[in-house]
């Protein structure tokens, strides 16, 4: 007898994976260049040159045991110091190596935090739709806690506070936020963050235990129009930050990120130790050594995100003029318009006729929407526009 939960997870192909396979089949017939795959959030912008140079230099100058050997479980001190100092310079904080735990990307950061915080199967974690679908897997199957969804506030994709307050209760252990957001691209405003922090403080006091805020920030650097993303940790003392270099340095396959546990977190030392313990239970051992060296050198760098901004501008303007309704994204590399019929699966199925690969919003907890992942060549975006138009015309636009 196998673990039935994980067996079911392994057998079920994700919607995005299904779409990806469909694209592969169609590519054999019509050619890869005629597939308009907007389904996957795999950065198409290359990692900055500084990353390639750092890799070459590290390989040429460091001892192999330092490049390929184990580091301490929480990550090398050099790398943690580099990350802490970079945060301090940017955000005026005073973090040090002891606040950081390096991970194999944000997925691991989230899994580790959720595992560290879950003390009972009654514990609940709240997420706000639209949300990254793996949250449910990490909460229910990874940590063994309860997954609670707050419906989307579709007019702006900020937090629906009325619904949120109804779901808070003494079992609420934590809340996950993701800004800039996958899939909406929306950045939470200062007002949203301040209101959230105030509410969590009041409720923590009322329940007599902290409600942790897990801030999932892999898109923190991917922002447009020169806006500033509020750095959330200083706004609420019990915040754990989950970060990743998958998107900011275009390194998703290298698996490198971190958990930040600020000193302000209640029982900081125990929470940090629980994060280390959770990493141990989950068998992570340590983050990849070579990429710890790379991050130490490239911590302040960022991939060229101008292509994403260009794609966003082209798509947003064209789609809204065709009749699609969409909240303007200020970050990440996704657009999350309403589908032109209520059934988002039926709509995305229809789009396949034009080899337009879009992801239904239902999987993100927001039916009636579609995710368009625009981390693709600008030429692909431009060639896809007449197809979006034909699709809109089918619905009388
Ligand atoms: N959180 C969000 C919101 C994401 O979109 C992703 C990946 O797409 C992750 C976490 C996981 O990122 P990583 O590649 O760092 O594990």
**At 71, which CATH number?**
3.40.640.10
Nearest to 143 by CA among 125, 169, 127: 125
Distance CA 267, CA 58 (A): 38
Say what the ipTM of the complex is: 0.99
Residue 71 alpha carbon to ligand 1 centre in Å = 24
Q: Does residue 331 have its Cβ closer than 6 Å to ligand 1?
A: no
Residue to mutate, 42, 113, 182, ligand 1, most ligand atoms under 8 Å from C-beta: 182
Looking at 248, 274, 298, which one is the last position of a domain?
298
Do 53 and 34 fall within a single domain?
no
The region of weakest confidence among 15-19, 191-195, 278-282, 358-362 is: 15-19
Is a pLDDT exceeding 90 seen at residue 230?
no
Output the pLDDT for position 242: 98
Read off the pLDDT of each residue in 312-330 and give the average, rounded to a whole number.
98
Dmax (CA) for the chain in angstroms is 65
Query: Are 256 and 104 spatial neighbours (Cβ–Cβ below 8 Å)?
Result: yes
Do 311 and 244 fall within a single domain?
no
Question: Helix, strand, or coil here: 213?
Answer: strand
Q: Does residue 252 have its Cβ closer than 6 Å to ligand 1?
A: yes
Query: Are 242 and 257 spatial neighbours (Cβ–Cβ below 8 Å)?
Result: yes
Which atom of ligand 1 is nearest to 107's Cα? 16
Do 19 and 112 fall within a single domain?
no
Q: Which domain holds residue 152?
A: 49-298
Distance CA 306, CA 37 (A): 20
The number of folded domains in the chain is 2
Q: Does residue 287 have its Cβ closer than 6 Å to ligand 1?
A: no
- Kindly indicate the confidence band of residue 195, based on its pLDDT and cuts at 50, 70 and 90: very high
Do 73 and 32 fall within a single domain?
no
Query: Are 231 and 256 spatial neighbours (Cβ–Cβ below 8 Å)?
Result: no
pTM attached to this predicted model: 0.97
Is a pLDDT exceeding 90 seen at residue 279?
yes
Distance CA 390, CA 397 (A): 9
CB atoms within 10 A of CB 269: 11
Do 29 and 97 fall within a single domain?
no
Is a pLDDT exceeding 90 seen at residue 161?
yes
Nearest to 301 by CA among 47, 6, 34: 47
Nearest to 41 by CA among 104, 133, 158: 133
Residue to mutate, 39, 104, 105, ligand 1, most ligand atoms under 8 Å from C-beta: 105
Do 190 and 275 fall within a single domain?
yes
Residue 321 alpha carbon to ligand 1 centre in Å = 31
Is a pLDDT exceeding 90 seen at residue 340?
yes
Output the pLDDT for position 45: 95
* Share above pLDDT 70 across residues of the chain, in percent, rounded to a whole number: 100
Residue 107 alpha carbon to ligand 1 centre in Å = 6
Output the pLDDT for position 17: 83
Looking at 253, 274, 298, which one is the last position of a domain?
298
Output the pLDDT for position 136: 97
Do 21 and 138 fall within a single domain?
no
Which atom of ligand 1 is nearest to 108's Cα? 16
Do 333 and 369 fall within a single domain?
yes
Output the pLDDT for position 166: 98
Residue 30 alpha carbon to ligand 1 centre in Å = 31
CA nearest ligand 1 atom 12, residue? 106
Q: Does residue 175 have its Cβ closer than 6 Å to ligand 1?
A: no
Do 57 and 174 fall within a single domain?
yes
Do 15 and 88 fall within a single domain?
no
Q: In sequence order, what are the residues at sequence separation of 6 or more whose Cβ sits closer than 8 angstroms to the Cβ of residue 264?
A: 237, 238, 239
Distance CA 116, CA 277 (A): 7
- Kindly indicate the confidence band of residue 20, based on its pLDDT and cuts at 50, 70 and 90: confident
- Kindly indicate the confidence band of residue 253, based on its pLDDT and cuts at 50, 70 and 90: very high
Which atom of ligand 1 is nearest to 244's Cα? 15
Residue 163 alpha carbon to ligand 1 centre in Å = 26
**CATH value at residue 381:** 3.90.1150.10
Output the pLDDT for position 295: 98
Strand order of the β-sheet with 370-373 is: 334-335, 370-373, 359-360
Do 227 and 279 fall within a single domain?
yes
Do 114 and 230 fall within a single domain?
yes
Q: Does residue 218 have its Cβ closer than 6 Å to ligand 1?
A: yes
Looking at 298, 321, 343, which one is the last position of a domain?
298
Tokens encoding 316: 């947003």
Which atom of ligand 1 is nearest to 106's Cα? 15
Which atom of ligand 1 is nearest to 245's Cα? 15
What rounded mean pLDDT belongs to the chain?
Answer: 97
Output the pLDDT for position 229: 87
Q: Does residue 101 have its Cβ closer than 6 Å to ligand 1?
A: no
Nearest to 110 by CA among 240, 255, 247: 240
């Amino acid at each position: 007898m196998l673990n039935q939960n994980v067996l079911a997870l392994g057998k079920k192909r994700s919607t995005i994976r299904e779409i990806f396979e469909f694209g592969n089949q169609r590519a054999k017939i019509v050619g890869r260049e005629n597939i308009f795959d907007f389904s996957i959030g795999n950065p198409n912008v290359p990692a900055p040159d500084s990353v390639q140079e750092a890799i070459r230099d590290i390989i040429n100058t460091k001892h192999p045991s330092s490049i390929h050997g184990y580091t301490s479980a929480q990550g090398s001190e050099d790398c943690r110091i580099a990350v802490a100092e970079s945060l301090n310079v940017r955000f005026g904080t005073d973090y040090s190596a002891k606040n950081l735990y390096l991970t194999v990307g944000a997925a691991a950061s989230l899994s580790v935090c959720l595992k560290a915080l879950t003390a009972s199967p009654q514990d609940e974690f709240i997420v706000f739709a639209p949300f990254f679908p793996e949250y449910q897997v990490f909460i229910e199957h990874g940590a063994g806690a309860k997954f609670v969804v707050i419906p989307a506030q579709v007019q702006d994709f900020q937090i629906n506070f009325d619904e949120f307050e109804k779901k808070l209760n003494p079992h609420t252990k934590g809340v996950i936020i993701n800004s800039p957001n996958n899939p909406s691209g929306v950045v939470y405003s200062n007002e949203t963050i301040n209101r959230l922090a105030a509410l969590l403080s009041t409720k923590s006091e009322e329940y007599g235990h902290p409600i942790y805020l897990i801030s999932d920030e892999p898109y923190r650097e991917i922002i447009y129009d020169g806006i500033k993303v509020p750095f959330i940790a200083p706004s609420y003392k019990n915040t754990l930050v989950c970060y990743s270099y998958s998107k900011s340095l275009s390194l998703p396959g290298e698996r490198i990120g971190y958990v930040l546990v600020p000193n302000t977190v209640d029982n900081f030392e125990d929470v940090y130790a629980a994060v280390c313990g959770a990493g141990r239970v989950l068998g992570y051992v340590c983050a990849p050594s070579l990429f710890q060296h790379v991050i130490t050198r490239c911590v302040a760098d960022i991939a060229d995100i101008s292509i994403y901004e260009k794609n966003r501008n082209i798509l947003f303007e064209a789609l809204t003029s065709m009749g699609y309704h969409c909240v303007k994204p200020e970050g990440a590399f996704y657009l999350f318009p309403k589908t032109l019929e209520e059934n988002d699966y039926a709509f995305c199925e229809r789009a396949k006729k034009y080899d337009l690969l879009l992801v239904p919003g239902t999987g993100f907890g927001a039916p009636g929407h579609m995710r368009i992942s625009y981390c693709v060549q600008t030429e692909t975006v431009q060639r896809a526009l007449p197809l979006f138009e034909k699709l809109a015309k089918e619905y009388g636009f």
